[in-house]
């Protein structure tokens, strides 16, 4: 007769767990950003890599500085790294690196940690950082440098020291949405799809974003309803307006600006979007409607950031009105 | 009838999860008998309902299958000696789940052949299905699925109600377990005979036997023995947990949803486990009461995984020894499946009628570190009762009992799908139990 091992443990069911964890979700999204970063580097050169590295590093440092600093602390969950990288990819190329750093510090400290850390913030932290930069440096944040100036080309503005009023001497180009808004010029679809247009680092290549989004959705890293609802709403709503000559075509709306990037990486942040399935549809509907309204009837050429932040604010309400109906009830 | 459409070849219920199945170690292992133990411990309360009342004295000689405790009231059942021998004691003994309770201890007669005597089987005249309800109760048959609810209760149709369809649960959706699978493969005729007996008893039109698609041999074995024009149909279901739960099974097979807080009878349905049906067939055709059941002993921490026909009351240690004993790497013994089973430390407790499996695990999942909730909503998509575990957990932590009622905590049957999928390892199902405790305490105070 075998003696029983003396160390049998008593824990409660379930005794098995799905092969999933919050850090793993975060790192899967970080991994999904790699092709996006590669595309950014292809069009905007080494600057893109410098900016993403700065954003991620400062975000991580901020997280660590505000944690209990025992070992890696909450850095291990990977969310700070993700926020920093996401923020950098929403910024115009050739934004001074110190601004990137400032934005990342604000994103983590004010966007997340003061509210209680991971899971407790109302607004998407990366977009809080971006909104801060937009308010603080409105000109620099809307100066787009042209893509394709060579991989090793670094603008002097990129490495400008903090607070000096760096002359914005980049070879600037208007973004496709700016062209539509202020000069009534549309952009060809092909460069929009490949990404060879002026814009924020990560947002320009539609094809990369669609592929990455589909992969993340199929791997169930995020709730597919959120991006699908957002994009479908934009297509339908702008399509109707387009028929009356009130909006650029749905294809242009989809592939320009930050819509795809926002739909794939910002609308899918679990913390700041509804938990319920119905709420996810409402959220996407709201973002889509707001994006079309701001782009076509607002003062700004682009409205993805504000649309998402506004719907973040509505999320507790959406959760409240979209509670699931119990089985057989 | 979506399962008739070519695009959705199989039926299932909404929500739920799909854990790794881990059934390969025993799904092809033929059910084996084990050597008789020296003593058997029979708990008077190993079913849902009132405890049975002993009808034997200490020191009395009992035959194998002899009645040793009788039911008290309707929701109660009988207990029989698993071996011939003498009643050694009637005293409290440790039982699974850290409980202890009054047990009848039977010491085996080493010189007895351990065959059922004619006297035993004649008490249950073979081939006669009259008054099945009373006979099932006095044969001590309970649901084999885990809850051990007395089967005769589910055989009786309340006044003013009717049963249109009988559902036999052959899902065995818990990972690791293969005992029902082997019963279907090795004893399809007994399962089908039991199905027919149940159908006649409740005057149902049809019997659906729901079997998950990972048991093709069981499906084939059953179908091979169903005659033409039989009211019995085997329905192949998509592999998903917790499909074996009554409401999920009915939804999966006929897409009828039992109203919240109500029983299957509300949708003219009655549910029994496949192995329970086989036990009913054995009672009617062979005249034997319930004295043994098939238990799957498996997991990475056991030397020789097997499906074993175990006499009720066998000490757990003897069953583990039959399977080569625990390996040194074993760190947890679980009674039941890994999703809903209970960890067990004391190996001297007896096998009970509701025990479907014994798992020897080497690295339990519940040791994973808890992270903050990221409100991803995976628990909502997993919950088969369409509750909001994320919000319920929050309300339990804040002890807001009125919110627990409003969020229908009472509908939770603790399948643990929410805990299983939570990427932050929140102890969701534990919090549901804590919340039910809060509601109970509030009710008692009022």
Give contacts of A20 with chain B, Cβ < 8 Å: 378, 421, 423
pLDDT in tens, B247-258: 999 999 999 999
Nearest to A16 among B338, B388, B429 (CB): B338
Domains and CATH numbers, chain B: 12-32+124-362 (3.40.50.11540), 378-445 (no CATH)
Nearest to B332 among A15, A280, A326 (CB): A15
User: Which of B237, B96, B246, B241 lies closest to B175, judged by CA?
Assistant: B241
Give contacts of B241 with chain A, Cβ < 8 Å: none
Strands (E), B274-422: 292-298, 306-311, 332-335, 342-344, 357-361
Q: Do B411 and A327 touch (CB under 8 A)?
A: yes
pLDDT at A1 over 50: no
Q: Do B341 and A4 touch (CB under 8 A)?
A: no
A1 at the B interface (CB within 8 A)? yes
Give contacts of B257 with chain A, Cβ < 8 Å: 327-328
pLDDT at B128 over 70: no
Radius of gyration of chain B (CA): 22
> What is the arithmetic mean of pLDDT over A185-205?
87
**Which residues 287-326 of chain B have a CB within 8 Å of chain A?**
317, 320-321, 325-326
A25 at the B interface (CB within 8 A)? yes
Nearest to A270 among B247, B317, B376 (CB): B376
Confidence bin at B6 (pLDDT 50/70/90) = very low
Query: Which of B170-189 are b and which e, b meaning 16 or more Cβ less than 10 Å from the residue's Cβ?
Result: bbbbbbbbbbbbbbbbbbbe
Closest chain B residue to the Cα of A76, Cα to Cα: B371
pLDDT at A252 over 80: yes
B265 at the A interface (CB within 8 A)? no
Nearest to B321 among A1, A271, A325 (CB): A1
Nearest to B384 among A16, A23, A327 (CB): A327
The per-residue pLDDT for A6 is 61
Dihedral pair phi/psi, residue A100, rounded to 5°: -60, -45
The per-residue pLDDT for B390 is 96
* Degrees to nearest 5, angle at CA B59 with B53 and B63: 75
User: Which of A301, A235, A303, A315 lies closest to A269, judged by CA?
Assistant: A315
Q: Do A12 and B366 touch (CB under 8 A)?
A: yes
Dihedral pair phi/psi, residue B220, rounded to 5°: -65, -45
The per-residue pLDDT for B3 is 43
pLDDT at B321 over 90: yes
> What is the arithmetic mean of pLDDT over B299-317?
97
Q: Bigger pLDDT: A6 or B77?
A: B77
Q: Do A275 and B388 touch (CB under 8 A)?
A: yes
Nearest to B374 among A1, A4, A118 (CB): A118
Bond preceding residue B20 cis, omega within 30 of 0:
no
pLDDT at B9 over 60: no
Rounded Cα–Cα distance for residues B318 and A133 (Å): 70
Give contacts of B321 with chain A, Cβ < 8 Å: 1-2
Give contacts of B371 with chain A, Cβ < 8 Å: 21-23, 77, 118
Nearest to B387 among A4, A15, A326 (CB): A326
The per-residue pLDDT for B300 is 96
The per-residue pLDDT for B264 is 94
Going by C-beta distance under 8 Å and a sequence separation of 6 or more, which residues neighbour residue A309? Answer: A123, A124, A127, A128, A131
> What is the arithmetic mean of pLDDT over B308-314?
97
B349 at the A interface (CB within 8 A)? no
Rounded Cα–Cα distance for residues A200 and A91 (Å): 5
The per-residue pLDDT for A10 is 87
Return mean pLDDT, chain B.
Answer: 92
Rounded Cα–Cα distance for residues B174 and A318 (Å): 35
The per-residue pLDDT for B2 is 43
> What is the arithmetic mean of pLDDT over B40-61?
95
Closest chain B residue to the Cα of A279, Cα to Cα: B377
Q: Do B427 and A270 touch (CB under 8 A)?
A: no
**Which residues 77-136 of chain A have a CB within 8 Å of chain B?**
77, 117-120
Instruction: Say which range, A144-158, B207-221, B255-269, B393-407, has the weakest mean pLDDT.
Output: A144-158
Closest chain B residue to the Cα of A5, Cα to Cα: B328
pLDDT in tens, B385-407: 999 999 999 999 999 999 999 99
Q: Do B260 and A327 touch (CB under 8 A)?
A: yes
The per-residue pLDDT for A192 is 87
B407 at the A interface (CB within 8 A)? yes
The per-residue pLDDT for B408 is 96
A162 at the B interface (CB within 8 A)? no
Instruction: Say which range, A187-196, A247-256, A281-290, B11-20, has the weakest mean pLDDT.
Output: A187-196
Confidence bin at B1 (pLDDT 50/70/90) = very low
Cα–Cα separations (whole angstroms), residue B378 to A329, B92, B145 = 21, 44, 27
Q: Do B425 and A280 touch (CB under 8 A)?
A: no
Going by C-beta distance under 8 Å and a sequence separation of 6 or more, which residues neighbour residue B267? Answer: B250, B256, B257, B258, B259
Relative orientation angle of helices B389-397 and B428-445, to the nearest 10 degrees: 50
Rounded Cα–Cα distance for residues A1 and B72 (Å): 39
Closest chain A residue to the Cα of B327, Cα to Cα: A5
Confidence bin at A196 (pLDDT 50/70/90) = confident
- The burial class, CB within 10 Å (0-12 / 13-18 / 19+), for B114 is middle
Return mean pLDDT, chain A.
Answer: 91
Q: Bigger pLDDT: B348 or B9?
A: B348
> What is the arithmetic mean of pLDDT over B272-287?
94
Pairs of CB atoms within 8 A across A/B? 181
The per-residue pLDDT for A90 is 96
Rounded Cα–Cα distance for residues A163 and B97 (Å): 67
> What is the arithmetic mean of pLDDT over B326-330?
93
The per-residue pLDDT for A251 is 94
The tokens for A306 are 């504000």
> What is the arithmetic mean of pLDDT over B222-229?
94
Tell me the nearest-neighbour CA distance from B14 into chain A, angstroms. Answer: 10
Q: Which residues pair with B170 in a beta bridge?
A: B211
Nearest to B377 among A15, A117, A275 (CB): A275
C-alpha B282: how far from chain center: 18
Q: Bigger pLDDT: B120 or A178?
A: A178
Going by C-beta distance under 8 Å and a sequence separation of 6 or more, which residues neighbour residue B4? Answer: none
The per-residue pLDDT for B126 is 60
Q: Do B391 and A277 touch (CB under 8 A)?
A: no
A76 at the B interface (CB within 8 A)? no
**Which residues 27-66 of chain B have a CB within 8 Å of chain A?**
none
The per-residue pLDDT for A74 is 80
> What is the arithmetic mean of pLDDT over A207-221?
96
User: Which of B366, B375, B413, B415 lies closest to B394, judged by CA?
Assistant: B375
User: Which of A64, A306, A88, A301 lies closest to A177, judged by CA?
Assistant: A301
Closest chain A residue to the Cα of B19, Cα to Cα: A18
The tokens for B191 are 């399962």
Confidence bin at A184 (pLDDT 50/70/90) = confident
Q: Do B380 and A324 touch (CB under 8 A)?
A: yes
Q: Do B364 and A277 touch (CB under 8 A)?
A: no
Rounded Cα–Cα distance for residues B384 and B14 (Å): 7
Q: Do A8 and B330 touch (CB under 8 A)?
A: yes
Nearest to A5 among B330, B339, B374 (CB): B330
> What is the arithmetic mean of pLDDT over A139-155?
85
- The burial class, CB within 10 Å (0-12 / 13-18 / 19+), for A284 is buried
Tell me the nearest-neighbour CA distance from A83 into chain B, angstroms. Answer: 14
Q: Where are the domains of chain A?
A: 22-173
Going by C-beta distance under 8 Å and a sequence separation of 6 or more, which residues neighbour residue B216? Answer: none
Give contacts of B378 with chain A, Cβ < 8 Å: 20
The per-residue pLDDT for A94 is 84
Rounded Cα–Cα distance for residues A97 and A52 (Å): 10
* Degrees to nearest 5, angle at CA A222 with A218 and A225: 85
User: How many other C-beta atoms can be found within 10 angstroms of the C-beta atom of residue B436?
Assistant: 16
B213 at the A interface (CB within 8 A)? no
Tell me the nearest-neighbour CA distance from A56 into chain B, angstroms. Answer: 20
């Amino acid at each position: 007769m075998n003696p029983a091992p003396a160390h049998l443990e008593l824990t409660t069911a379930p005794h098995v767990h799905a092969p999933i964890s919050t850090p793993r979700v975060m790192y899967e999204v970080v991994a999904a950003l790699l092709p996006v970063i590669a595309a950014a580097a292809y069009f905007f050169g080494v600057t893109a890599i410098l900016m993403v590295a700065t954003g991620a590093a400062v975000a991580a440092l901020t997280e660590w500085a505000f944690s209990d600093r025992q070992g890696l602390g909450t850095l291990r969950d990977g969310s700070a790294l993700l926020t920093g990288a996401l923020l950098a990819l929403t910024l115009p190329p050739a934004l001074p690196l110190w601004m990137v750093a400032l934005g990342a510090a604000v994103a983590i400290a004010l966007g997340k940690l003061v509210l209680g850390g991971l899971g407790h913030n109302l607004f998407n932290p990366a977009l809080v950082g971006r909104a801060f930069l937009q308010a603080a440096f409105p000109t620099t944040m809307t100066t787009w440098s042209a893509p394709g100036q060579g991989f090793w080309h670094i603008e002097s503005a990129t490495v400008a020291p903090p607070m000096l009023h760096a002359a914005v001497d980049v070879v600037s180009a208007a973004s496709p949405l700016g062209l539509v808004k202020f000069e009534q010029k549309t952009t060809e679809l092909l460069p929009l799809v490949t990404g060879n247009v002026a814009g924020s680092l990560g947002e320009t290549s539609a094809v990369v974003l669609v592929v990455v989004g589909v992969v993340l959705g199929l791997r169930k890293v995020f709730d597919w309803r959120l991006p699908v609802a957002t994009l479908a709403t934009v297509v339908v709503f702008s399509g109707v307006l387009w028929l009356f000559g009130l909006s650029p075509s749905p294809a242009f709306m989809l592939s320009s600006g930050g819509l795809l990037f926002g739909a794939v990486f910002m609308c899918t942040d679990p913390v700041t979007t509804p938990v319920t399935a119905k709420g996810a549809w409402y959220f996407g509907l709201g973002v889509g409607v707001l994006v079309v309204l701001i782009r076509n009837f607002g003062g700004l050429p682009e409205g993805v950031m504000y649309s998402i932040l506004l719907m973040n604010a509505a999320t507790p309400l959406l959760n409240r009105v979209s509670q699931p109906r119990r089985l057989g009830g | 009838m979506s399962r008739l459409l070519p695009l959705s070849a199989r039926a299932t219920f909404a929500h739920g999860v799909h854990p790794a199945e881990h059934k390969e170690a025993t799904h092809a292992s033929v059910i084996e008998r084990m050597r008789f133990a020296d003593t058997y411990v029979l708990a008077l309360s190993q079913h849902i309902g009132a405890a049975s009342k002993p009808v034997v004295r200490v020191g009395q000689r009992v035959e194998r299958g002899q009645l040793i405790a009788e039911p008290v009231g309707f929701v109660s059942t009988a207990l029989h000696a698993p071996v011939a021998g003498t009643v050694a004691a009637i005293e409290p003994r440790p039982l699974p789940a850290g409980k202890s309770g009054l047990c009848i201890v039977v010491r085996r007669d080493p010189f007895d052949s351990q065959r059922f005597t004619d006297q035993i089987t004649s008490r249950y005249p073979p081939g006669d299905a009259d008054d099945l309800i009373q006979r099932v109760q006095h044969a001590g048959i309970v649901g084999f699925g885990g809850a051990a609810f007395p089967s005769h209760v589910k055989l009786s149709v309340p006044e003013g109600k009717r049963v249109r369809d009988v559902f036999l649960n052959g899902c065995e959706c818990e990972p690791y377990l293969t005992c029902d699978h082997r019963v279907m493969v090795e004893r399809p005729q007994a399962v089908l005979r039991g199905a027919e007996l149940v159908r006649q008893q409740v005057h149902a039109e049809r019997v659906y036997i729901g079997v998950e698609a990972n048991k093709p041999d069981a499906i084939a074995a059953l179908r091979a023995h169903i005659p033409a024009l039989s009211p019995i149909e085997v329905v192949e279901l998509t592999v998903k947990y917790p499909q074996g739960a009554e409401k999920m099974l009915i939804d999966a097979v006929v897409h009828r949803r039992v109203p919240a807080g109500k029983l299957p009878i509300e949708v003219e349905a009655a549910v029994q486990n496949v192995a329970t049906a086989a036990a009913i067939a054995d009672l009617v055709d062979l005249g034997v009461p319930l004295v043994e059941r098939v238990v799957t002993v498996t997991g990475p921490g056991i030397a020789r995984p097997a499906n074993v026909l175990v006499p009720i009351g066998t000490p757990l240690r003897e069953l583990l020894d039959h399977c080569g004993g625990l390996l040194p790497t074993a760190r947890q013994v679980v009674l039941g499946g890994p999703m809903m089973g209970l960890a067990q430390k004391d190996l001297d407790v007896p096998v009970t009628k509701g025990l479907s499996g014994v798992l020897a695990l080497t690295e339990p999942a519940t040791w994973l570190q808890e992270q903050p909730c990221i409100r991803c909503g995976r628990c909502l998509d997993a919950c088969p009762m369409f509750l909001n575990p994320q919000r319920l957990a929050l309300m339990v932590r804040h002890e807001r009992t009125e919110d627990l009622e409003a969020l229908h905590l009472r509908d939770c049957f603790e399948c643990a799908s929410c805990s299983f999928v939570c990427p932050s390892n929140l102890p969701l199902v534990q919090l549901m139990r804590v919340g039910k405790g809060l509601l109970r305490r509030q009710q008692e105070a009022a």
